[in-house]
Amino acid sequence: MQAKSDSNLWGIDVSRWQGLIDWPKVAAAGVQFAFVKATDGIGWTDPQFRRNAGGANAVGIPVGFYHFAHPETNSAAAEAEAFTETVKGLPVDLPYVLDLEGEAVAALGREKLTVWADTWLREVQRRTDHPVMLYTGAAFARSYCGEQLAKYPLWVAHYGTDQPMSNSTWEQWSVFQYSDKGSCDGIEGDVDMNLMELDFWKEVTGQVDKKTDFPDVEAGRWSENCIAAVSAAGIMTGYEDGTFRPDQPVTREELAKVLNDMLYLINQR
């Protein structure tokens, strides 16, 4: 497991235990993401779930939802259905999370827990076509999470350290819950503190830098003349050298200029 880094993003996870949250104050405090508890087993929804989900969304904090598992009493398929029905239709930015912890859960043993967790995660992903991940404690991951779960990102909890305990299933964490005694403006009492790896953030939010993957037009072809024409016209956005950039908006004027020059070059004007 890697240690904390200055590039990590800071976030929180919340449930009914945080009471009524003042989300504008949370946003002003600099919180960059939030995981919100949705469900617990079957038939129980966190009473603050919709308020927290809506509040975070309203202030632009990216949100993920998590489910507290009870594999000692329910099937993975039944709990996956309960969770997906609860979160259906709600805006979500981060993965859906399976929260796997507790003595009753551990009593099932490593093999059964691994199969149960994998089934829940696969079923939620199938039902929603949305990314999923696993939350658990560092010691729990070492003892009860088999290699079958390595394909899912890990959100690991380990308090009082800058580097979580290692385990044989994951080489690194995607989210690190480093404290359950944090404080944040807008929340009365303690709240869990989390860090997220920057690369994981980019992946799940779609903010991947594609500059090195985006090819320019082929030199010496007619398309190069189109690019030069719009650049000379002063209506080009993108790199300083006049090439296009995938994360820049293209205006109607730019598209019209390109199309007009294309038509001219292929003798249709």
Residues with a known catalytic role: 13, 99, 101
Residue 214 to residues 221, 224, 249: CA-CA distances in angstroms?
A: 18, 15, 15
Q: Could you tell me the two tokens for 250?
A: 């293209």
Closest CA to 84 of 72, 70, 96, 99: 96
Residue 161: partners with Cβ closer than 8 Å, 6 or more residues away:
178
Of residues 48, 50, 30, 47, the one with CA closest to residue 186: 30
- Burial classification of residue 260, based on how many CB atoms lie within 10 Å of its CB (0-12 exposed, 13-18 middle, 19 or more buried): middle
